[in-house]
Every structure is written in structure tokens, then in C-alpha cells.
Chains A and B, each alone.
Chain A
């Protein structure tokens, strides 16, 4: 019955116009080493469509001034652009209030903010923080730092050979005085999609708040923070076709309200005197100093671009493309897939024979194919598989089957060179 209704829903999702979409990205219209560029490294950083580039240029050309200050026309326009983008973010992830949308420098800063401002004041010796083995370094190191600062202990839920979090072990840890669970929605190294609705419900049944690292999810699937019921959700602009240096922290308003500021400075205050300072309201309490205004404007434009296509459409298209990628790589002799979870998004890591990933990366680059090689800022994952690094192809809405065929052809050349 469920399957049937899924099929019906699928039929109503429009086809993704991928060829038209590719034309929107100037960076994809170039040759690299005499070959048309195939960009399979969007998990590290994605390319921006012309709509984003032009929106930033227009803002910088006509509307730039400082925000929330001054009565002149440009300051007013800049504030409207900056705050307008916040409203776009709120709608995009279905947050309840614009007060819950904090601009940051990126996912990393968002996680550090929660670690320092939400967790640190309530942590002491004997308290615990829970993460998983598949986290990116940015969802490991901020927690190690506050553990050092407070004497709290970091617990790590293991993964299995497919790259899936061992849920039984994760839930077992929830019973032992955990103050926060910090977990990726999609693993950047393995592509594993964690079953968040179930995990978050379970954590909440133990009164453990949950921070979600959504950096690898937001560009690829619909995200609804209220449906997830996560307490915090962090993501970056540059992985979702926006600019670098801008990111978002979503937090439930009651939690954000109770938290002290993360950094001090202008814009986060109501009144400053040497006897003490009154902090500004949400979301400004967490946005000290002149913010990345053009970054926010660019992020807003990226969201508008994604909404025009539709996240359901993108998710369905990429799901099929990932299946094709996995199948084609499976045909390559002596290729080992790393990360074979049953529920995955956009990423496939692999190793080819005994060729070091870095050599593979160079050979592919010289055929115009850009992939990531190395540890993907997830060294514990590499240790788990006993490899120094992997080659990783990651997909986005502008990739097509031809890109994947060029990748496998490039792998054949690598085999030839290495004999």
C-alpha cells in the first residue's frame, strides 16, 4: 500500500531538465587539459549558477552598504537584501520563525557556536557528548575542544562495513547521561544517509537534544527541520551552489533564546555601557560585527534557483544518477566501493586496484575529470576501512550520465598507465 502511494507520488515529480540546468553554470562550460570539464567534486564545493553570480554582482554594484545602520537608501537596500535572504532560508528548511535562522561563516562555525554557547555552560566532568564514527572533522573537533575545556567525555557510535551507523550501539549510549547528539544527515566520505527521524525521536525520548550536520544533505533533498524535529541544523552556502564564507545555524527558538552570545561586537547589542551590555534579540544576538552581506544575498539566490527546479525533482534525479554511478563503477575490474549503505545520497568513494587515490586524481584531472582524493576530512572513517584515503566522486544537479561515462573511461586510462 505504501509502495503504491510512493509510486503515485513519484509520477507527479517533474523530470529534471539537466541539460538546460548545465547551461546555467558558467564554470561547466570550460575545457580542462583539452577536455570538457567533468565536475564530480560538489561535495567539497559546488559550482554557482549565473543567477547567483549576477545577484551578487548586482548587489555589490548598486545596493551595498552596512546593514541595520544608517537611514540612507543604500543601507536600507542592503538590509532588505540581507533580511530577505533570511526569509528565503526560513522557508527553504521550513523553520517556524526567522528568529531561528542565524547566519554564520559555514557549517563549521555553526557547530562551534552550538558547542561553545549551548553545551559548554552546562557541561562538567562525567557529562557526555555523543557523535558517530562517520562524522566530518568539523563535527568531531569542536566537541573534542569542549571536552578538553570541561572534562566531559566524547562517545562515538560505531559503523558497520557498509558504512551505516550501528543504531543499537548509538541508542545504548543515549542512556548514559549524554548532553547532546551531533550527527550528519549525509556522510561526506561515504554518502550514507542516516535515518534521522527515528534517531531524533529516540534521542528525544531520553531528553537528549540533537544537532544535525546537514552540509551534505541540503543541496540534494528536501529538508524540513520541523518535521525532523532536530534542535539544531547546520549547513553551508558553498555546497549548495552559493558562495563560500556563508552558512546557517538553525536552532529552536527557546534554546537559542536561553544561550549566551557566541562572539561580542557590534550589531549583537541593544545597549553598551561599561557597567554591562544588553544583548540584542534573536537572531542578531549571534551575529556580531558586520556580516557577510553579499554572501547572504548569494545564498538567497541559490535557494531561489533550487526552488525553481524543486528539491523533490533534484532528489529523484540524483537518486537515479547515483544508482547509475554505482552500477558503472561496479563494472570496473579491481574496483572496491567504499560506502555501500542501503540508503545513500550523492557520494561514492572507491579504490582502484593498488593505485594510490592521489595518482588516480592526477590522471583523471588530465582527462578533464575533477574528483576528490584523500581522507575527505574524515580520517576516522579512513582508519575504519584501513586505507590512507579514497577517490570520491560526488554528484550534483548538473551532472549527467555522460560525466559518469567519462569517469569510468578515465579509470581505464589509469589502469593502462599503471599496467
Chain B
């Protein structure tokens, strides 16, 4: 009887403490000097605009990652969590995180129709609250699409539209 309406629970789930913390104090924020890879992500719907930088060694190991730009709490927190997650990771593993996260947030547990990924997303699970907010999935995946584009060395900004 006294419980919050369902919609309010969803809101608390979307804006959980970890997300708000990363949105307020984004980690690895700024330009990365000596970056080997970079890409821009634009979400024209809400004006999110992020540029993400990587320093990747010849073995494909991500030595460092940073991002700059502006956006809503979800897109900034997601970019911050991304950099936290992929530093020290091989690019192949980072791409696996990308496809697993994108598929789970879109409510498709089997990326590309393949076997269900049992990858443990760790603290990226904090982004799963976005599943109840279809219009915000793009915000949560923007930085990840930019990562994909940067690693593939695609030119031109990626858009979530």
C-alpha cells in the first residue's frame, strides 16, 4: 500500500547511486594525448556529444582510455564506466563487452543469434536499469558505439539515430 508506484522504482533503478556518482564525477575525463584511436559519438535527439580516445599497443592491448564531451547523466556515466572497464583489456574482449552490453540493454540476450553470452559485465550491470526506458537505451550505448567505431578505425562520427 505504501510502496512507491512501479514507475518510481524504475526511476530509482535507472538513476542508481553508481550511475549518479559517475555522472557527477566522470573518471578518465579529458583529452588523451598520444591516442592511437579515437571516435566521436553523437545522439542528436538529446544533444549528447562525446569523443572517446584510446591508446592501443601493437598487441591490441588498451593501455589507456579517456573521453570528453557533454551529455545526459546516463551517457556520461556510461562513458565513464566504459573507460574504467576497458583499460588493460584486449580490443577483442572490449568488442565482446560492446556486443553483449548492447544486446542486453536492447533486451536481446543472444547477440547476432549466437549462443547466449554468459559474460559477466561487472559494474556495467548498473546500466541495466535503462532497459525499462527504451528512449534512453541510445544514451547508455553511445560511448560503446564510439568504442566500436574507434577500434575498427572507422572515420566520421557515429550516431545513435
Is this pair of chains taken from one and the same complex?
Answer: yes
Chain A residues with CB under 8 Å of chain B are 33-35, 355-359, 362-363, 366-367, 373-375, 382, 388-389, 417-419
Bound Cα distance A417, B14 (Å):
10
23 A-B pairs in the complex with CB atoms less than 8 angstroms apart: A33-B7, A34-B7, A356-B46, A357-B46, A358-B45, A358-B46, A358-B48, A358-B74, A358-B139, A359-B72, A359-B73, A362-B133, A363-B11, A363-B15, A367-B7, A373-B46, A374-B46, A388-B48, A388-B70, A389-B46, A417-B11, A417-B15, A418-B20
| Contact (A419, B20) CB under 8 Å given A366-B11, A375-B47, A382-B47 | yes
| Contact (A374, B14) CB under 8 Å given A358-B139, A359-B74, A419-B20 | no
A391 to chain B, nearest CB (A): 11
- CB contacts (< 8 Å) of B11 on chain A: these are 362-363, 366, 417
Q: Are B47 and A389 in contact (CB under 8 A)?
A: yes
Bound Cα distance A356, B73 (Å):
7
Q: Using CB atoms, name the residue of chain A closest to B45.
A: A374
Option from B8, B72, B139 in Cβ contact (under 8 Å) with A366 = B8
Dominant SS at the B interface?
helix
Count of B interface residues, CB-CB < 8 Å: 24
B21 to chain A, nearest CB (A): 10
Task: Give the one of B15, B46, B48 with max A CB within 10 A.
Answer: B46
- CB contacts (< 8 Å) of B15 on chain A: these are 359, 363, 417-418
Q: Are B14 and A362 in contact (CB under 8 A)?
A: yes
B148 at the A/B interface (Cβ < 8 Å)?
no
B31 at the A/B interface (Cβ < 8 Å)?
no
From 38 to 73 in chain B, residues with beta carbon under 8 angstroms from any chain A beta carbon are 45-49, 70-73
Task: Give the one of B6, B12, B72, B136 with max A CB within 10 A.
Answer: B72
Bound Cα distance A355, B74 (Å):
11
- CB contacts (< 8 Å) of B135 on chain A: these are 362
From 2 to 37 in chain B, residues with beta carbon under 8 angstroms from any chain A beta carbon are 5-8, 10-12, 14-15, 20
- CB contacts (< 8 Å) of A382 on chain B: these are 47
B82 to chain A, nearest CB (A): 18
- CB contacts (< 8 Å) of A359 on chain B: these are 15, 72-74
Bound Cα distance A33, B4 (Å):
12
Bound Cα distance A35, B5 (Å):
10
- CB contacts (< 8 Å) of B47 on chain A: these are 358, 374-375, 382, 388-389
A317 to chain B, nearest CB (A): 31
Q: Are B5 and A34 in contact (CB under 8 A)?
A: yes
B75 to chain A, nearest CB (A): 8
Bound Cα distance A382, B136 (Å):
22
B18 to chain A, nearest CB (A): 14
B105 to chain A, nearest CB (A): 15
- CB contacts (< 8 Å) of B14 on chain A: these are 362
Option from A35, A357, A358, A366 in Cβ contact (under 8 Å) with B10 = A366
A413 to chain B, nearest CB (A): 8
Q: Using CB atoms, name the residue of chain B closest to A367.
A: B7
- CB contacts (< 8 Å) of B73 on chain A: these are 355-356, 359, 418
- CB contacts (< 8 Å) of B48 on chain A: these are 358, 388
- CB contacts (< 8 Å) of A355 on chain B: these are 73
Bound Cα distance A102, B137 (Å):
41
- CB contacts (< 8 Å) of A388 on chain B: these are 46-49, 70-71
Option from A358, A375, A419 in Cβ contact (under 8 Å) with B72 = A358
Q: Are A356 and B72 in contact (CB under 8 A)?
A: yes
- CB contacts (< 8 Å) of A373 on chain B: these are 46
| Contact (A366, B46) CB under 8 Å given A356-B73, A419-B20 | no
Bound Cα distance A388, B73 (Å):
13
